[in-house]
Amino acid sequence: MNDKLAASKHQPFLIELPGGDDVARSRFRIFCDDGPPAIVHKRFVSAQEISPDEMCQKRLRISSDEFIIRIRRIRELNGIVAVLETISIPSLLFPGIMELPLAGDLYDLYRRKYDITRVNADEELRAVLLDAQQARMLQSEKGIPALQIERVARSLRQTPFEWRASLCLTACFHYGAVVQSPK
């Protein structure tokens, strides 16, 4: 365990994924035992238009001849690289998105710019081992265990529009979830 991880052992980290006023809100928390809230810094890494692989086609219900935008971001928690997000969205739904700031709240951006609102999502959690590229991006080592949180977000018409896979380092962190109904 590196010095930064050891120093942050008692820090909980909140990552909130808000919906609009009329949709469900959810958030997940990455915790390190007890302690005050941490400072979360979101960092944009890359965005590129690519052909979807088979899993992406299945998750987003798109064909192999459609394109996706793949966005990668890092979340630092109290200065520690802790979460790697890989976000895939259909290119047809989000023209021009690669020219926009992509470090912030993407659900708000989707709603404001593209009139696409997340009303629900399915999440799956599993333990995985980091591959070489993931380990490099997370400043870790290949083969280290991580928590993978996969989310498929759906619009008002129940159409999947985003597949997000978040890899969370788990040496000092654990996952907690809160889902609130609309008011």
| 45-64 pLDDT tens trace | 999 999 999 999 999 999 99
pTM of the full structure: 0.80
Domain, as residue range, for 62 = 3-177
Whole-angstrom distance, CA of residue 154 vs CA of residue 156: 7
Q: Within 10 Å of residue 121's Cβ, how many Cβ atoms?
A: 20
The residue ranking higher by pLDDT, 142 or 18, is 142
Whole-angstrom distance, CA of residue 167 vs CA of residue 76: 12
**What is the percentage of the chain residues whose pLDDT exceeds 70?**
74
Domain count, the chain: 1
Q: Mean pLDDT lowest for which of 5-14, 128-137, 155-164, 167-176?
A: 5-14
- pLDDT value of residue 54: 97
Its sign, for the CA torsion 158, 162, 163, 167, is negative
Is residue 165 within 8 Å of 131, Cβ to Cβ? Answer: no
**Is residue 182 situated within a structural domain?**
no
Closest CA to 145 of 157, 158, 135: 135
- Rg (C-alpha) for the chain, rounded Å, is 16
Whole-angstrom distance, CA of residue 2 vs CA of residue 25: 34
At 41, is the pLDDT very low, low, confident or very high (cuts 50, 70, 90)? confident
137: left (phi over 0), alpha (psi -120 to 50) or beta: alpha
* Sheet strands (E) in 13-119: 13-17, 25-31, 40-50, 68-77, 80-90
The residue ranking higher by pLDDT, 91 or 82, is 91
Whole-angstrom distance, CA of residue 89 vs CA of residue 40: 24
At 3, is the pLDDT very low, low, confident or very high (cuts 50, 70, 90)? very low
**Is residue 55 situated within a structural domain?**
yes
At 35, is the pLDDT very low, low, confident or very high (cuts 50, 70, 90)? low
Q: Count Cα neighbours of 99 within 13 Å in the Cβ-side half-sphere.
A: 4
**Is residue 183 situated within a structural domain?**
no
**CATH number of the domain within which 30 lies:** 3.40.1410.10
CA 23 to chain CA centroid, nearest Å: 19
At 42, is the pLDDT very low, low, confident or very high (cuts 50, 70, 90)? confident
The mean pLDDT of 56-83, rounded to a whole number, is 93
Q: Mean pLDDT lowest for which of 20-29, 36-45, 65-74, 84-93?
A: 20-29
